[in-house]
Amino acid sequence: MKDRNYLEIFGKEPDIAVRAPGRINLIGEHTDYNKGFVLPVAIDRQITLTLGRRADKKAVIFCGNLGEKVSLDLSQNSYDSKRTWSNYPRGVIQSLILEGSELGGFNAFFRGDIPMGVGLGSSAAVEVAFAYGLDQLFGLSLERKKMAILCQKAENSFVGVNCGVMDQFISFLGRKDHALLLDCQSLEYKYIRLNLKNFRLVIIDTGIKRELQDTRYNTRRNECEQGVKAISKCLKAINSLREVSLLEFNNIKDFIPKNLRMRSQHVIEENKRVKLCSRLLEKNDLQSFGRLMVRSHQSLSDLFEVSCNELDFIVEKLRKDPGVLGARMTGAGFGGCAIALIKEDHIESIVPELSGEYRKRYSTEPRFYLINASEGASRI
């Protein structure tokens, strides 16, 4: 398909252009909505958005990847069950207006090179690009943290996915060559410099698409909430799983129903792993960090039950390879991507080998992406 742009669609030059990155999460999965800790990295794949003002109160939004356009009245904005991609910008528009921002009419053209629907934060990047772009276009002067929460709310209430704040937060606040340690309760954060020496972060895409609208994500969130209630009954009143130590949990875990026990145990242990990993990365101890990646994966597979055969297969193969320090699924799971820390001069041999074995078993090839830690949303 011919690469179209703003000028071709709208017949004049845009006023501004912005970008917002996708993400991987190094460790801390399904901990964000449990008020715990996460360690994501913004990647060098992104959504780019060009915007121009209109004289009326309409928003005309063109998605370059799909070649589709929607047009809406800012005062009459509702869920679109036909062009579901448009619900991300629609949700952001609604959240901004509800928050009290004065928006004028605008034309928008966006496209991205983040693989879609495979857990690399493409939908959050669309939301962040729109929130940041509209903030810049209309001089709203909103804080990045505030906009991240606003985008999360848009996804929760407009799109209907009860996601946490991680993806939106890192897309706004990512930093080149750094991971971001985020406390999802206080929203305090700290940058951790990534000194990967002769190793590289590699994404392995199983090719299995997963929609967050998939009810299994919301089900896990409900189970964690029920876990909180069960623990409150036999230990102490708590508001989130982050308030329980492993020691306390181990004393009472036999009284918790099995599935809630498994979900809660994952979250409590994963929070510990995140804190430990951030210290290990500060000390450049990549070996120990890699081992914890694998432990996190095992927990997501066995206790939280959000992995799948394909992800398990990839992680199992990679962890046995001497050129790999660690591997795990990243994002919500149920398909999507794994990440691995692989020795640079080993990548060339490992890629065809793993592809071949994967193809034999699943009759399809995984995709590999080498990535670098990048900046959060910015003007271009």
- Comparing CA positions, the residue from 224, 246, 248, 253 lying closest to residue 236 is 248
Tokens 């009472």, residue located? 252
CB of 322 to ligand GLA, least distance (A): 29
Q: Kindly report the length of the chain.
A: 380
Nearest residue (CB) to ligand GLA, 33 versus 369: 33
- CB burial string 222-254: b at 16+ within 10 A, e below: ebbbbbbebbeeebeeeebbbbbeeeebeebbe
Nearest residue (CB) to ligand GLA, 135 versus 167: 167
CB of 326 to ligand GLA, least distance (A): 17
Alpha carbon distance 230, 281 (integer Å): 35
Nearest residue (CB) to ligand GLA, 230 versus 274: 274
Task: Spot the catalytic one: 32, 135, 167, 205.
Answer: 167
What phi and psi values does residue 361 have, to the nearest 5 degrees?
A: -85, -40
Alpha carbon distance 52, 9 (integer Å): 12
Q: Is residue 228 within 8 Å of 240, Cβ to Cβ? A: yes
Alpha carbon distance 110, 130 (integer Å): 9
Alpha carbon distance 261, 30 (integer Å): 15
Nearest residue (CB) to ligand GLA, 32 versus 243: 32
Nearest residue (CB) to ligand GLA, 45 versus 317: 45
CB of 293 to ligand GLA, least distance (A): 14
- Comparing CA positions, the residue from 263, 257, 259 lying closest to residue 244 is 263
CB of 165 to ligand GLA, least distance (A): 7
Nearest residue (CB) to ligand GLA, 89 versus 164: 164
Q: Is residue 210 within 8 Å of 335, Cβ to Cβ? A: yes
Nearest residue (CB) to ligand GLA, 33 versus 158: 33
Dig out the tokens for 113 from the structure: 């090179």
CB of 88 to ligand GLA, least distance (A): 12
Q: Which residues bind ligand GLA (CB under 6 A)?
A: 29-30, 32-33, 163-164, 166-167, 331-332
- What are the strands, taking DSSP E only, across 26-102? 37-38, 40-53, 58-63, 68-73
Dig out the tokens for 272 from the structure: 């510990």
Nearest residue (CB) to ligand GLA, 14 versus 376: 376
Q: Is residue 21 within 8 Å of 46, Cβ to Cβ? A: yes
CB of 164 to ligand GLA, least distance (A): 3
Based on the residue annotation, tell me whether 167 is a catalytic residue of this protein. Answer: yes
Alpha carbon distance 40, 22 (integer Å): 10
Alpha carbon distance 120, 203 (integer Å): 9
CB of 40 to ligand GLA, least distance (A): 9
CB of 166 to ligand GLA, least distance (A): 5
Q: Is 179 helix (H, G, I), strand (E, B) or coil?
A: strand
Alpha helix stretches (DSSP H) within the chain: 6-10, 87-98, 122-137, 144-153, 166-173, 215-234, 246-252, 258-282, 286-302, 309-319, 347-362
Which residues are catalytic, by number? Answer: 167
